[in-house]
């Protein structure tokens, strides 16, 4: 799985503070570091709308369609995904869950099945079946790629929901990678979100 930050609002924390201070007309209170306390207050009180003034875009690759199907349910984000109508999937890569990889018999069953799908996909294409129809036999495991753009409020929401223990392992790994990048770039906005590396979950600290 690869997660690459494509872009992020420049001076995002300052812009959020500046926008937020419009409510209080307290622009004169801005100093070099005042955004830290201001954003902490926004996060603590749940004033999420102010966080909508900043955005980030990520290129996400090496993930399964099972993951992307869950991800695109987040309606406040924007997505552009590799098309199985336009791209030939004759040599599709696939994701293998650890539980299957670590079980010799399950691994064999799985990889054989994937190879069979590859063969059948090619055979369908050789019979003149269009990509958009041949793709019907592709599995949830098929590797995909997309670009995701979202504002910080939506990113927080997505990371919280998909980083919880109840969420699926692959999407948890994804949001952990995203959160690491965001914590580095805009630490104050994601300061209450903590990564438990061992259990691969994200917990929310009370501020």
Ligand X SMILES: Cc1cc2nc3c(=O)[nH]c(=O)nc-3n(C[C@H](O)[C@H](O)[C@H](O)COP(=O)(O)OP(=O)(O)OC[C@H]3O[C@@H](n4cnc5c(N)ncnc54)[C@H](O)[C@@H]3O)c2cc1C
Q: What's the CA gap between 202 and 163, in Å, rounded?
A: 5
Q: Which helix or strand (DSSP H or E) is residue 54 part of?
A: none
Strands (E) across the chain are located at 2-8, 55-64, 78-81, 143-151, 193-196, 201-204
Nearer to ligand X among residue 135 and residue 153 (C-beta)? 153
Q: Annotated catalytic sites, by residue?
A: 162
Site string for ligand X, 165-184 (x = CB under 6 A): -xx-----------------
Among positions 141-160, residues that touch ligand X (CB under 6 A) are 154, 157
Q: Are 159 and 179 in contact (CB under 8 A)?
A: yes
The residue within the footprint of ligand X, chosen from 6, 72, 76, 87 (CB under 6 A), is: 76
The residue within the footprint of ligand X, chosen from 19, 66, 106, 161 (CB under 6 A), is: 161
CA distances from 193 to 53, 81, 190, 197, 204 (A): 20, 28, 6, 13, 5
Q: Does 47 bind ligand X (CB under 6 A)?
A: no
Start-to-end CA span in the chain (Å) = 32
Q: Does 46 bind ligand X (CB under 6 A)?
A: no
Q: C-beta of 66: minimal distance to ligand X in Å?
A: 12
Q: Does 66 bind ligand X (CB under 6 A)?
A: no
The residue within the footprint of ligand X, chosen from 10, 23, 75, 98 (CB under 6 A), is: 75
Nearer to ligand X among residue 106 and residue 161 (C-beta)? 161
In 3D, which of 61, 23, 62 has the Cα closest to residue 41?
Answer: 23
Q: C-beta of 27: minimal distance to ligand X in Å?
A: 30
Residues that bind ligand X (CB under 6 A): 73-76, 154, 157, 161-162, 166-167
């Amino acid at each position: 799985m690869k997660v690459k930050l494509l872009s992020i609002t420049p001076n995002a924390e300052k812009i959020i503070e500046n926008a937020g201070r419009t409510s209080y007309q307290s622009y004169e209170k801005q100093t070099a570091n005042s955004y830290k306390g201001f954003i902490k207050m926004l996060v603590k009180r749940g004033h999420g709308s102010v966080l909508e003034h900043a955005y980030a875009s990520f290129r996400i690759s090496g993930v399964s369609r099972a993951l992307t199907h869950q991800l695109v349910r987040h309606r406040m984000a924007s997505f552009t995904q590799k098309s199985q109508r336009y791209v030939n999937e004759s040599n599709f890569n696939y994701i293998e869950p650890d539980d299957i990889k670590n079980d010799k018999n399950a691994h064999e069953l799985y990889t054989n099945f994937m190879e069979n799908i590859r063969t059948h996909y090619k055979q369908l294409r050789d019979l003149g079946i269009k990509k958009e129809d041949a793709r019907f036999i592709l599995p949830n495991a098929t590797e995909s790629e997309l670009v995701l753009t979202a504002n910080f409020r939506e990113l927080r929401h997505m990371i919280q929901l998909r980083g919880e223990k109840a969420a699926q392992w692959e999407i948890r790994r994804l949001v952990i990678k995203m959160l690491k990048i965001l914590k580095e770039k805009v630490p104050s906005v994601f300061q209450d979100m903590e990564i438990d590396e061992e259990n691969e979950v994200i917990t929310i600290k009370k501020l």
